[in-house]
């Protein structure tokens, strides 16, 4: 995933229309990778499905 993030950073580096937004998304993705690497045994997701009756 880090390889893909690096490639996307290069792709959007000089994009005046989407560059800032792409940079923010890629920064968030890198923070998540770091959290997982630092806390792999305690890191996970929970999904809840709700139904209105």
Q: pLDDT, tens digit, for every residue of 37-49?
A: 999 888 788 999 9
Q: What proportion of the chain, given as a percentage, has pLDDT over 90?
A: 81
C-alpha 17/C-alpha 4 separation (Å) is 20
Length of the chain (residues): 53
pLDDT at residue 15 in the model: 94
Element (H, E) at 27: helix 19-38
Contact criterion met (CB below 8 Å) for 21 and 11: no
User: pLDDT of the chain along its 53 residues, tens only?
Assistant: 999 999 999 999 999 999 999 999 999 999 999 998 999 888 788 999 999 98
pLDDT at residue 41 in the model: 86
**Cα 13 to chain centroid, rounded:** 17
């Amino acid at each position: 995933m880090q390889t893909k993030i690096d490639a996307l950073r290069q792709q959007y580096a000089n994009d005046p229309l989407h560059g800032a937004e792409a940079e923010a998304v890629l920064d968030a993705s890198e923070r998540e990778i770091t959290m997982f690497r630092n806390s792999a045994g305690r890191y996970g997701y929970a999904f809840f499905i709700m139904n209105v009756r």
